[in-house]
Amino acid sequence: MPAYSPLSADAILAGVRAASGITAPGVAEEHLVSLVEDRYAPRSMLFTDSGTSALSAALIGVLLSRPRATVAAPAFACYDVATALNAAGANVVLYDIDPRTLAPDLDSLRGAMRGDVAAVVLVTLYGHPVDAVPVLELAKERGAIVIEDAAQSAGAVYLGRPVGTQGSLGVLSYGRGKGLTGGGGGALLANDAAGERVLAHARTLFGRSRRGWKELLGATAQWILARPGLYALPDALPFMKLGETIYRVPRPPHAMPRACAAVTVASWGLADRELKRRRENAMRLLTAVGTRAHLVPMQVPLSGRPGHLRLPLLASPDVRGRAVSRVARRLGIMPGYPLSLADLGPLAARVLNGGAHFPGARLLAAQLVTLPTHGRLRDDDLLRLEEWIRESGVR
């Protein structure tokens, strides 16, 4: 598997009880509120059906008071960021990404913020934290708020706090492959007074929660098939599109389904143990990478600690070509997002500076590869990954 979020039979049963009404409505949500408050200490929070819905709601809330303003967003990110931008009807200015750190290129961000920018979307990818302080300072100078898209933070820490707590707003996801899963769902966190005002507007976009049987069915399938001996079954079915990067058409936002809240609560401790395993496996693989010229790890800010959802490496062109082979796929090795957001057709009509170069984002689209780090890796899997690291640079 490329990525893994731990589930258990108890978590699935908790979801069944919540969806069927055996557990009273609101009980799981109250428990989840307590867990999120303890970890993130937000001023207020809103649970949603996905991280994408949380981000789109945040953008809509920001633009309500500044409808003619633009949103600054990274030129390299998950395509769900584009979905959220389209859902919010936002006019977008893109900024480039430093391919050595996955952080915003500050010169590019300054250029993007010369106009009337209401918000900066700061994205964490693969559990790799970025240096947020310069972004926060620049946004403050320009009168913009920072929305941290921490959907892939997976336990990453920055300045001693979980990623998602630095900006006015933080976005979390409990979808498949995020390290902590509820079979679906997300959250929007307000971390200061400006974030609270936006969240109050965003809250009006969401209706009552559903029971969540569809999401529970998906979580059950994930629990059953997320095993090395069984994963080949869904992976062999083209219509499943596992591991593919897909643009999703915007959907109306909904509150978090009851089953998702219950499964997330029951999986909370499992995810904490999984984080420890990911960090151990990532350090082993980074040791194997060493100073090899054909695979370069991302630089981590001194004040950050990765959650290692996956291990991102900048590969030479030859190695990137080998990373899309069937052999690499069987090891859980995957390329990064194949297009920058500047080159993504469904977003093009909203991008005001689409003709800019964005060399960092396009380099990442051409050369980034990611290795698995999750706790389902056995010792022989890690040995084969270490062998691939050694031999991938040999012509």
pLDDT of residue 35: 98
Running DSSP on this structure, what letter comes out for residue 128?
Answer: B
pTM equals 0.94
pLDDT of residue 175: 95
Listed by start position, the domains of the chain span 9-234+241-268, 270-335+367-391
Residue type for position 227:
R
Taking the CB of residue 112, how many other CB atoms lie within 10 A of it?
A: 27
pLDDT of residue 240: 46
- What's the CA gap between 174 and 179, in Å, rounded? 8
CB 284 within 8 A of CB 311: no
CB 151 within 8 A of CB 51: yes
pLDDT of residue 239: 46
CATH topology of domain 9-234+241-268: Aspartate Aminotransferase; domain 2 (3.40.640)
Q: Assess if CATH 3.90.1150.10 describes domain 270-335+367-391.
A: yes
Angle between helices 27-40 and 258-289 in degrees, nearest 10: 40
User: In sequence order, what DSSP letters do the residues of 182-239 get, joined into one string?
Assistant: SSS-EEEEE-SHHHHHHHHHHHTT--PPP--HHHHHHHHHHHHH-STTTTHHHHT-GG
Taking the CB of residue 210, how many other CB atoms lie within 10 A of it?
A: 17
pLDDT of residue 232: 64
- Closest by CA position to 46, among listed 263, 266, 205: 205
Confirm whether 9-234+241-268 and 270-335+367-391 share one CATH topology: no
pLDDT average per 10 residues of sequence, the chain (395 residues): 94 98 94 98 98 98 94 98 97 98 98 96 98 97 97 97 98 96 97 97 91 96 81 57 78 95 98 97 97 94 97 94 85 95 97 95 97 96 95 73
Running DSSP on this structure, what letter comes out for residue 240?
Answer: G
- What's the CA gap between 56 and 51, in Å, rounded? 9
